[in-house]
Structure 1
Amino acid sequence: MSATAISTDVYTQVQQFYARQMHALDACRFDEYAATFTEDGEFSHTPGRPAAHTRDGIARELRAFHEERFATEPVQRRHWFNMIHLIEAPDGSLRSTFYVLVVTSRPGERQPEIAPSCVVHDVLIRADGGLLNRSRRVEHDYLLDLKRT
């Protein structure tokens, strides 16, 4: 895939898209978050959990995940995206790779937990004057093989 220069306008549009998407996720508005994916979108976020498919499947998966992990413990999670690298593919989609840290705060505790650290791989498409996720694959850093040649 050859790289095409990404305009400042497109880069800004992607950042705004991610801001809207993460505000919905961090507020547990899972249907709104899922609506940022194509109808047949794919979302793979946590090791050991199967990828979710379709908007309904993504919303169901997120509700189940949050119920399993946080039902007995109130938390506020914040997803921080940075180092967004964009490539426009020949088909017009955008390939986005970026870093994410998840910050979890608990009531009464001053020190938040910062984990996991991840790399995210997205395929974004243009639709109706905006962007939608076709797919998202999250790789957790603690599982990476750090042997470098």
Structure 2
Amino acid sequence: MTILAETPTAAPSATEGAVLYAEVQQFYARQMQLLDLNRPQEWAATFTEDASFDVPTLPEPVRGRAGLVAATTRSHAQLEESGQRHRHFMGMLDVRPREDGTVHVRSYAIVYASTIGQDSRVHRVCVCEDVLVRGAGGLLVATRRVTRDDLA
């Protein structure tokens, strides 16, 4: 799915656009902190109940919050066993509201890896394409597709 090729709604006013951009940026800051702090239940709650998470490190997309919790719990256990920490940074957000109320976001995601007692390094550089929806508590990810720059 190439989000940039889709037709956006009429452009929001400068103020509306800035408010939405700040909301999306804060959403990602909170979401990535939850992931990196190994809080899988809270992180999964930032997705819809039936969310789809498609990442090339897994053989098929993860579906639903229970699947997200299981996948991140496994991943954190593997990192802990290897003495590593990961920190996710999402930037270069291209935020595009749609007529149906969804918000399509394309961003660059950089994953930094730190092995305890050694220097940190860039682990992966990715493109993240999300469809966000509004839930009772704010924005939620309905679909996430991650592609890696190092893979064809």
Taking structure 1 as the reference length, the TM-score comes to 0.88
Residue by residue, what CA displacement relative to the aligned partner does 1:7-45 show, whole Å, maximum 9, x if unpaired? Answer: 101100000100110000001111111000001111122
Flag the 1:66–1:49 CA change in 2: closer, same or farther, 3 A. farther
Partner of 1:61: 71
Distance 1:61 1:137 in 2: 15
Residue by residue, what CA displacement relative to the aligned partner does 1:103-132 show, whole Å, maximum 9, x if unpaired? Answer: 0112111x2120210000000001225100
Residue identity matched to 1:78: R
Pairing partner for 1:141 from 139, 149, 152: 149
Residue identity matched to 2:8: A
Residue identity matched to 1:123: V
Asked if residue 87 in structure 1 is aligned to residue 96 in structure 2, the reply is: yes
* Segment drifting more, 57-66 vs 41-50: 41-50
Asked if residue 77 in structure 1 is aligned to residue 86 in structure 2, the reply is: yes
Runs of 4+ in 1 over 4 A off after TM superposition: none
Pairing partner for 2:54 from 44, 52, 60: 44
Pairing partner for 1:103 from 93, 112, 120: 112
Does structure 1 retain, via aligned residues, the 8 Å contact 2:79–2:85? Answer: no
Cα RMSD, aligned residues only? 1.5
Pairing partner for 1:131 from 119, 139, 145: 139
The percentage of counterpart residues that share the same residue type is 36
Distance 1:97 1:78 in 2: 19
Does structure 1 retain, via aligned residues, the 8 Å contact 2:53–2:143? Answer: yes
Per-residue deviation at 1:65?
2.7
Select the structure that is richer in helix.
2
Q: Which runs of 5+ in 1 are unaligned?
A: 145-149
Q: Which runs of 5+ in 2 are unaligned?
A: 1-5
Say which SS state the counterpart of residue 7 (structure 2) adopts.
coil
